Each structure stands twice: as C-alpha cells, then as structure tokens.
Amino acid sequence: MVKSLVRWARWGWLVLLLGYCALFFAEPINLTTADLGRHLKNGQLVWQHPELLSTNFYSYTEPTHPFLNHHWASGMVFFLIWRLGGFAGLHLFFIALNLAALAIAWRCAEERAGVGVAAWLSILLLPLLAIRAEVRPEAFSLLFTSVFFQRLLRFRDQRASQRSVWWLPLLEAVWVNLHSYFFLGPALIAAFLVDSLCSPARRGQARVLAVVLSLAMLATLLNPFGITGALVPLTIFQEYGYRLFENQTIPFLLARFQMPALWLFLGVFMALALSLGGAWARVGKSAGVAETLIAVGVSAMGWVAYRNLALFGLLALPLIASALGVLRAVRPRNDRFFALAAVLSLALVIAVPSTVWSLPPASGRRLGLEPGDGEAAAFIRQQHLEGPIFNNYDIGGYLIFHLFPEHRVFVDNRPEAYSAAFFRELYIPMQEDDAVWREAEARFGLNMIVFHRHDLTPWGQRFMIARVDDPAWAPVFADRDTLILLKRNVRNRSAIDRFEIPRSAFHVTRASP
C-alpha cells in the first residue's frame, strides 16, 4: 500500500509540476519583438536561398556582410511545425521541449535525493526555468543538456550500459545545427571524463568517455560551415555592436533593476555553493567531481549573462539534489516521508500566490499569437505602401516574416549580422542626431518608418518623438506595439490623406532618458 502511494505521489507530482510549469510558458507570442518570425522565414527559404546561411540576407543596408547562421536547422523545424499546426501548434511544441528538459532534470534530482527534495527544489526553481518564455531555438539546447547530463550520470553510476553514451555524438551532430550552445555537449562529457580519471575504479569508463568525447568534438564539424561553425561559440561576440539586455551580467542588472529573478538566482547560487561545499567537506571528491565542474561552469554562465539563467536553473535542480543526497541528512529515511514531502509540495504550489513566482495572469495565458499581432503588416500590404523602410532593431524579425521579399529591413535583431560600425556610426546616430538622420534619409531614399513603440533605448524614444513632430513625416498607423509613418510626398499622398493621425493624438507619458 505504501509503495503504491509513493509511486502515485512520484508520478502525480511530476505531472502536476509539468502542468504548472507549462503555465509559465503560456504567454502569447508577440512577433513584433521576437526572433521567431525570422526563424520561420529561414526555414521557409533556406533551400531556395542557401546564401541566407552565410550573409545578411534580409537587409538592404549591409546585404553582403558575412553572417554565420548557426541555428538554421531550428528554423526548419519551427517552420515545419508551424505549417502543420500554426502558431498554437508551434507554441505547444516549444512548451513540450522545455517540459521534457525539466522532466529529465527532475528525474535526475529524484533519483539522487528523493521525491520530496526534488519537489521542493523544482518549485523554487520554476521562475528561473521559465525565464525565457519566448519561442527560441535555445529550447533545443535545454533538452539536449538534460539528456546528456542524465545519460552521463547514469553511465558513471553504473545504472546504464555503454550504449547510453555511444549515441551522444549522434545527438551532438544534430545539436550543432540547432543552437550555438552545442558546446555544452562536449563540455558535459569532458566533466564526466575528468570525474572518471579521478577514480582508479572507473578507468574503464574513462577510456569509453575519451572516445565519446573525441567523436562528439568531431560531430561539431558536421555543419554547413565546418570548423568555422564549430568555433562559433568563441567568435559570435567578436563583431557585436549592439548591447542587449539578455547579454548583460547579473551585477550590471542588479545595479539598475529590481527583478525578483535576479535575487532568486543569487539565492539558488548560494544554495548550490553551500550544498556542494558541504558535500565536499563530508566525503571529499566522492561528492562528485563532474557535478562540481558543471556547477562551476553553469554558475559562471549565469553570472555573465541573464540569458543563461534558465540553463542555470535547469542544472541547479539535479546538482543541488545530488549534493544534498550525499549529505544524507535530507535523504528520506522511508517511503512515508517520500509521500508526505510530495503532498506538502503540492499544497505549497496551490497555496503560494502566483505573483511570487511571476506567473502570467490567467487573462494573459493563451497559445499562439497575441490578438491583432499582424495588423501593422496587413495595413502595409493592403495600402500597397512602398519602401525603403527605416525600422528599429526590435521589429526587424516581424517585418522579415510578414513582408519579405517585397520589403527588406534596415536592421533586425541579429547584432552579429551587422558590423559594429553600422550600429555605432549609422543606426544609433540616426536616432540621436537630426543632421545624421537627414543625411541617411536622403542616402537611402527612406519612404516609410516602422517602429516598435516600446523601444526603451534613449535614442529610440527620442527618435519617435522627433518624427511625430517632424512636418516631413506623417503618422498613419498606430496600435499597441507599432507606429508607422510615411514620408510626405506624391507617392504617399493618398494614404496620408486617408489615414493621417493628428499630432494631438500623441502624448509623451514620460521623459525620454
């Protein structure tokens, strides 16, 4: 009876955990700021236009600038799912990838420390796990990271045969074409190789892992760019001329923002450090050399970039559980504790207000696109508006998805696809200095401005105010996300006469920084 209760508690908790986690990802897709539109267009066009793999294909400003499209296969997968199931189906697929990654990590934690500890830890870590709710290729990396970690852990602990690690190089050959975090595969294998070398009893495992690591590193060459593609994690930031929020360090963000996720990261980091430190103090390297190396690596990634917090949270779950399991004091002593801890954890999920975990409000949860997401693009098509378009960084992917090839973009949200000088000497100065704007306006023959209204950069805010006040430009469309202005000329006279929005309709609600 007790064993049956424990089994039901284990799997019942996991189902509830995954369902609750899915709510964090059920934020409607907003293409106006997402990369997703460009990924879908990549998947649609890659066979007809292979040049999009290596050049800035969608832009008219720097069309020949070299660009290595390291996530091209993600676009193909996303496009196929989208064609079959629309945006709702693609959204479900993305959620499934994240839930599969969580389920595997949770299973590792449960095996190391029991249902109760895994349950409590997973509740604590949910906000970090779901911090990247936008549909992105990195969901593949989270899943592959969980799979690699679980296979290697079970192989080391002799709970799985050699076959569990021999197919990791095959997965690596897929991973290298999906997302730039493919380097985590060889890094995880290397951590367990070092672990096996530290134990004379596991030298046989070391020989197997050495071969698997060599094959995995060779697998990174199986991409359209060969050695250049394999080295992209080391080179992607060499020509990165635009500062992104997601790439900022935790100290930088803590000094400027009050975000619960940042403080949660600090708390989890301390818990990970203390639990591993305690395990080492108690049993030495038996605490897990691999776990320690991985903890150091993923913690460093978390500290240096906000975008890595989901990866940190995913691995922190089994890593902390493993350390606590070594300490034994928190390992459940009998099956009844398993069941009781799981029940208490379920009660906590129900009792704690969702706002504590930054769960989206019920009214804001849905699959697929936000209502009205495509209206700005539809307006441009229906009114047969002509370019060239000047657009801001945020909305580039949206324009690529809806309007390419009829319209090419001035810029899009791929900093590595443009030279650093482009941002430093053209894109940003155009919005800060009216003289530079006038020169670029004439140089490119700009006829339309399409701007994401919630661009919070100092230059973006100033530019929108200046152009609304500029008698040479007429605002003709505005919705929750997008502002469209047309140049006052003969070509646009008809559209301006019908749709011009009076200046009195616009209000500056806060001063530009």
Is it the case that residue 437 has pLDDT exceeding 80? yes
Give the 3-state secondary structure of 450-510: EEECCCCCHHHHHHHHHHHHCCCEEEEEECCCEEEEEECCCCCHHHHHHHCCCHHHCCCCC
DSSP H helical segments within 30-180, as ranges? 36-45, 72-113, 115-129, 138-156, 163-166, 168-175
* Span 4-10, average pLDDT: 60
Lowest mean pLDDT among 137-151, 313-327, 362-376: 362-376
Give the pLDDT of residue 280.
83
C-alpha closest to that of 321 among 149, 157, 113, 122 = 113
> What angle, rounded to 10 degrees, do the helices at 434-444 and 458-469 form?
70
C-alpha closest to that of 337 among 108, 105, 114, 132 = 114
Identify the residue with better confidence: 366 or 450.
Answer: 450
Give the pLDDT of residue 511.
44
* Span 436-457, average pLDDT: 92
Give the other-Cβ count within 10 Å of 125's Cβ: 26
Is it the case that residue 191 has pLDDT exceeding 70? yes
Give the pLDDT of residue 252.
87
Write down the mean pLDDT value for the chain.
86
Give the 3-state secondary structure of 371-407: CCCCHHHHHHHHCCCCCCEEECHHHHHHHHHHHCCCC
- Express each pLDDT in 79-128 by its tens digit: 999 999 999 999 999 999 999 999 999 989 988 887 778 877 888 888 88
Bridge partner residues of 448 (DSSP): 389, 486
- By the 8 A CB rule, do 489 and 463 touch? no
Fold of 375-505: Rossmann fold (3.40.50)
* Span 303-323, average pLDDT: 93
- Express each pLDDT in 123-182 by its tens digit: 888 888 888 888 999 999 999 999 999 999 999 988 877 788 999 999 999 999 999 999
* Span 474-496, average pLDDT: 93
Domain boundaries, the chain: 2-30+68-364, 375-505
C-alpha separations of 155 from 196, 237, 292 in Å: 11, 35, 17
- Express each pLDDT in 253-293 by its tens digit: 888 888 888 888 999 999 999 998 888 888 777 778 899 99
* Span 422-438, average pLDDT: 92
- By the 8 A CB rule, do 330 and 324 touch? yes
SS3 55: strand
Give the pLDDT of residue 510.
58
Is it the case that residue 512 has pLDDT exceeding 50? no
Look up tokens 């779950």; give the residue.
317
* Span 192-207, average pLDDT: 87
Q: Residue 139 corresponds to which tokens in the numbers above? A: 């969901």
* Span 491-499, average pLDDT: 92
- By the 8 A CB rule, do 164 and 155 touch? yes
Side-by-side strand order, sheet with 473-478: 389-391, 448-452, 482-487, 473-478
- By the 8 A CB rule, do 275 and 94 touch? no
Local structure of residue 449 (DSSP, 8 states): E
* Span 486-493, average pLDDT: 93
